[in-house]
């Protein structure tokens, strides 16, 4: 460009000198100025002042790129926009043209490089930008359970989707009545921890998640830690029979005597279809958790052999489950089942005028069943309870009353079931009809009268 301008300038000056004259000299001066201006314009180099709307954004968001220059005539400029993942090949977002603005919506997270080119008189000035694109950080952390007993372990899991780069997790807790948090594990790549609370109570649990950039989020949960449940043995029985004329009786064995203990609790005589049999009752008691088998066997005087086998699992709370049973029984009768040893009691709750229905709550699993039945006269409800275990438990009754149904009667019975599952009252609390009346506990009893027994 410079050479061409100098050639044009030389030719014009030579022609003017040959022609001579003042007017010609004036024209030559004007032409010279024009050519010098063109030369200066051709020698200019634009300053690339392009810019981006952001240098960090999420996938799905739109980035605006604006081409801008200084120091040259913008009418003679063209602009190009280019993109690449760092270290990869360039791709064209927008070819050279007069449009100064280009937009781009990324669909994948990565570190990108953007180049905006300004072209002027075949001169190209580039400007580069680093852009980081991340996916939104979505937290799906969770706690394995909301309720455990003291001494048990809860699992806290940090789980996140999206974000940029390495994800780190932090685990914290505090009692619900406290302000300050305690750190279980500071931020690290470990996304899972196990925690065994040392005290019973209610706790707030927090799982924090953050990515390599500035994104972070938290997940909260509530954990209730109950006092450890008292392990009380469960009892169950089976009754087998043999002819009274037989010199043999049923015998019993347990594979693991540390899991189940047993004893013969009762032996009676029974008449059936003009035959007399001896009934033998075996009572079993769970001792510790595990799996074992109970075997009953009987050999007749004629050489017949009968066996009864029960496969049993005992859980950590000394509950038992019969997994399977098989065998052959005397005179091909139905194989006897293992029956739980239970106790029972009931409480009659009277119906008050203008009061709602009674609601009953039981403190633990010592009582297996609760059923309420309304009396025919409609004067109240009889609540019947089945006791499975020895131990202490509480039965609570609540009932709303009054026109607004906001006043509440509350009766609390603290009870104890002994080893024979007989229930007795320890104490009681609450208020009902100004405290003048307490429904009694009805316990089945056996009374002896002239050698005969009857339930009262």
Q: Render 220-242 in DSSP notation, one character per residue.
A: EEEEEEEPPPPP--BEEEEEEEE
pLDDT at 17: 57
pLDDT in tens, 149-198: 888 899 999 988 887 778 899 999 999 888 899 999 999 999 999 999 98
Strands 423-431 and 407-417, bridge-based pairing: antiparallel
Confidence of residue 9 (pLDDT cuts 50, 70, 90): low
| Arithmetic mean of pLDDT, 107-121 | 91
Angle, alpha carbons 206-208-210 (nearest 5°):
175
What is residue 454's predicted lDDT score, i.e. its pLDDT?
34
pLDDT of residue 98 exceeding 70: yes
Mean pLDDT over residues 343-363, rounded? Answer: 78
If we measure between CA atoms, which residue out of 224, 225, 183, 179 comes closest to residue 206? 183
Please say if the pLDDT value at position 16 is more than 60.
no
pLDDT over 80 (residue 92): yes
Long-range pairs for 314-319: beta carbons < 8 A, 24 or more residues apart: 314/259, 314/260, 314/286, 314/287, 314/288, 314/289, 314/290, 315/289, 316/231, 316/289, 317/229, 317/231, 317/365, 318/231, 318/232, 318/233, 318/234, 318/286, 318/287, 318/288, 318/289, 319/234, 319/286
- The DSSP 8-state label assigned to residue 10 in this structure reads H
Q: Is the pLDDT of residue 401 over 80?
A: no
- Domains 47-135 and 140-226 belong to one CATH topology: yes
Helix (H, G, I), strand (E, B) or coil at 456: coil
Write the DSSP assignment of 344-411 as a string of letters: EEEEEEEPPTT----EEEESSTTEEEEEEEE-TTSSEEEEEEEE-BSEEEEEEEEEEESTTS-EEEEE
The CA distance from 151 to 226, in Å, is 9
Q: Which two tokens stand for residue 187?
A: 């931020």
pLDDT of residue 447: 39
227 in Cβ contact with 271 (< 8 Å): no
CB 355 within 8 A of CB 399: yes
Task: Tell me the pLDDT band of 23, cut-offs 50, 70 and 90.
Answer: low
**Which superfamily does CATH assign the domain made up of 140-226 to?**
Immunoglobulins (2.60.40.10)
Q: Picking from 264-278, 283-297, 366-380, which range would have the lowest pLDDT averaged per residue?
A: 366-380
Q: Quick one: what percent of the chain has pLDDT higher than 90?
A: 24
> pLDDT class for 13, splitting at 50, 70, 90?
low
Specify the pLDDT at position 417.
Answer: 85
3-state SS, residue 12: helix
Residue 62 has pLDDT above 90, yes or no: yes
Give the model's confidence band at 8: pLDDT under 50 very low, under 70 low, under 90 confident, else very high: low
Between 334 and 170, residue with greater pLDDT = 170
Fold of 235-338: Immunoglobulin-like (2.60.40)
- Extents of the domains making up the chain: 2-43, 47-135, 140-226, 235-338, 343-455
Q: Decide if domain 47-135 falls under CATH 3.40.50.720.
A: no
| Residue 42, pLDDT score | 64
Distance CA 217, CA 209 (A): 5
Place 101 in a pLDDT band, splitting at 50, 70 and 90. very high
Q: What is the mean pLDDT of residues 271-288?
A: 84
Please tell me the predicted confidence (pLDDT) of residue 453: 33
- Main-chain phi, psi angles of 151, to 5 degrees: 100, -15
> For all residues of the chain together, what is the average pLDDT?
80
The confidence score (pLDDT) of residue 449 equals 38
Contact 242, 276 (CB under 8 A): no
Question: Tokens for 158?
Answer: 């940090």
pTM over 0.75: no
- Residue 205 burial (C-beta neighbours within 10 Å; 0-12, 13-18, 19+): buried
- β-pairing, 275-286 with 290-299? unpaired
223-236 tens-digit pLDDT: 988 877 667 788 88
Lowest average pLDDT, out of 118-122, 211-215, 346-350, goes to 211-215
């Amino acid at each position: 460009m410079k050479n061409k301008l100098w050639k044009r300038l030389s030719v014009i000056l030579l022609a003017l000198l040959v022609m001579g004259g003042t007017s010609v000299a004036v024209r030559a001066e004007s032409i010279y100025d024009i050519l010098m201006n063109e030369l200066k314009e051709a020698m200019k180099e634009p300053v690339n002042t392009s810019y981006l709307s952001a240098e960090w954004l999420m996938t799905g968001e739109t980035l605006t790129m604006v081409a801008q220059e200084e120091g040259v005539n913008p009418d003679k400029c063209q602009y190009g926009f280019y993109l690449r993942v760092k270290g990869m090949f360039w791709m064209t977002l927008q070819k050279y043209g007069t449009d100064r603005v280009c937009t781009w919506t990324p669909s994948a997270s990565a570190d990108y490089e953007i180049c905006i080119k300004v072209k002027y008189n075949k001169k190209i000035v580039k400007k580069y930008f680093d852009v980081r694109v991340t996916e939104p950080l979505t937290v799906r952390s969770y706690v394995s359970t909301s309720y455990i007993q003291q001494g048990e372990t809860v699992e806290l899991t940090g789980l996140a989707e999206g974000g940029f780069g390495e994800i780190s997790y932090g685990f914290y807790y505090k009692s619900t009545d406290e302000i300050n948090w305690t750190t279980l594990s500071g931020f690290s790549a470990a996304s899972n921890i196990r925690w065994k609370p040392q005290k019973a109570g209610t706790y707030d649990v927090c799982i924090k998640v953050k990515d390599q950039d500035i994104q972070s989020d938290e997940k909260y949960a509530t954990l209730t830690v109950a006092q450890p449940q008292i392990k009380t043995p469960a009892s169950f029985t089976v009754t087998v029979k043999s002819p009274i004329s037989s010199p043999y009786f049923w015998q019993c064995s347990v594979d693991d005597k540390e899991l189940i203990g047993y004893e013969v609790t009762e032996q009676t005589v029974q008449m059936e279809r003009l035959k007399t049999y001896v009934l033998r009752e075996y009572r079993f008691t769970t001792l510790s958790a595990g799996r074992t088998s109970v075997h009953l066997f009987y050999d007749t005087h004629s050489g017949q052999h009968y066996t009864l086998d029960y496969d049993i699992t005992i859980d950590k709370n000394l509950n038992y489950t019969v997994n399977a049973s098989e065998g052959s029984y005397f005179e091909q009768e139905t194989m006897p089942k293992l029956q739980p040893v239970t106790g029972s009691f009931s409480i009659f709750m009277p119906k008050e005028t203008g009061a709602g229905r009674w609601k009953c709550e039981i403190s633990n699993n010592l009582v297996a069943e609760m059923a309420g039945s309304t009396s025919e006269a409609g004067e109240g409800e009889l609540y019947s309870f089945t006791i499975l275990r020895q131990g202490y438990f509480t039965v609570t009754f609540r009932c709303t009353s009054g026109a607004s149904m906001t006043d509440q009667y509350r009766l609390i019975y603290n009870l104890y079931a002994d080893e024979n599952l007989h229930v007795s009252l320890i104490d009681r609390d609450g208020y009902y009809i100004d405290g003048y009346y307490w429904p009694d506990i009805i316990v089945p009893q056996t009374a002896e009268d002239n050698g005969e027994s009857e339930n009262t």
